Structure 1
Amino acid sequence: MSQVLKAHVALNTPHFEESVRFYRAFLGLEPVKLKPGYAKFDVAEPPLNLTLNASTTSCLGALNHLGIQVASTEAVEEAKRRVEAAGLATWEERNTDCCYALQDKIWVTDPNGYRWEVFVVKAVTGEEGRGKGNTAKTCCAA
């Protein structure tokens, strides 16, 4: 395979305008392309091509959650400050065992119910873990 430039995630949304506002705040970016029913966010770090596609149904399918791995707890905290300053609700997990790793993370949910985590892997562990307060297997991004 040739060099991968960035991952692409396309999300269907019955809440298009709300979703554009959410991802502007969550990513701290304006869409590089905004058309009726279509928005594209071109994220440099981490490399990501995220598109929003208007849909009459949520079409969530089997998607569990999405995540952005960062290099430090400080980067997780910075993301939390930025997201909360934009008026978005977050919840936080510190020193949580998740997917055989010790992690610090925040979670945020978009208007369609897609859950995003911003996380740092602090250490590899021998326990699968499921994160604090999660009854379903919701972590496993490490």
Structure 2
Amino acid sequence: MRMHVAINVKNLEQSLRFYKILFQAEPTKVKDNYAKFELDNPALHFSLNVRAYENKGVLNHFGFQVKNTEEVEAAKDRLQAAGLVPLDEMNTTCCYAVQDKVWVTDPEGNPWEVFYTKKDSEFEAAEDRVMPSACCATPSKPTTTVPVSELRGKSECC
């Protein structure tokens, strides 16, 4: 399992310069509005999302990157057994990747995801082909009626 932290940034190039120095590493993916670092020491999946954040803050979301879909399903089962209602997003396109994931929100409104990255995508989100400002895709088989925007609180996906 690898910890995931996503932050909102206004200037990707400035942020990339800073984080390359801080992490002593090159990003594993860079797009016009997104970049990610996948570090081994510490085990961290860190993404930069170009977003206006005056009213929303710099935090986008937290999560855990896992090794396979079975681990996503196990996290979903564990969360449901504990009385939480995870949002299921299986086979969704987000962050320029096809992923299986589930989301929950902590009591303060911070969104957490458990995700497995299946493959890269040329699109930030599935809706990019139709609505460029959209975030992550709608789950293929919804398991709850909680809107993604409500579940994710003050953040924007990816």
The bucket for the TM-score relative to the shorter chain is 0.5 to 0.7
Which residue matches 1:65? Answer: 61
Q: Is 2:156 the counterpart of 1:138?
A: yes
Separation (CA, whole Å) in 1 of partners of 2:43 and 2:117: 18
Tell me which residue corresponds to 1:127.
123
> Could you tell me the TM-score, scaled by structure 2's length?
0.48
Shift of 1:62: 2.5
Task: Find the residue that maps to 2:60 and give its secondary structure.
Answer: coil
TM-score by length of 1: 0.53
Match runs of 1:1-142 below 5 Å: 61-129=57-125, 130-133=135-138, 138-140=156-158
Number of residue pairs the alignment of both structures matches: 87
C-alpha distance in 2, partners of 1:96/1:113?
22
Compared with structure 1, are the counterparts of its residues 47 and 100 closer, same or farther at alpha carbon in structure 2 (3 Å cutoff)? closer
Distance 2:85 2:124 in 1: 27
Distance in 1 between the 2:67 and 2:84 partners? 22
Secondary structure at the counterpart of residue 87 of structure 1: coil
Distance across 1 between alignment mates of 2:95 and 2:137:
12
Residues in 2 aligned to 1:118 and 1:74: alpha-carbon distance in whole angstroms: 11
Residue type of the alignment partner of 2:62: L
The alpha-carbon distance between structure 1 residues 125 and 47, as it changes in their structure 2 partners (threshold 3 A), is closer
**Could you tell me the percent identity over the aligned residues?**
52
CA RMSD of aligned residues (A): 2.9
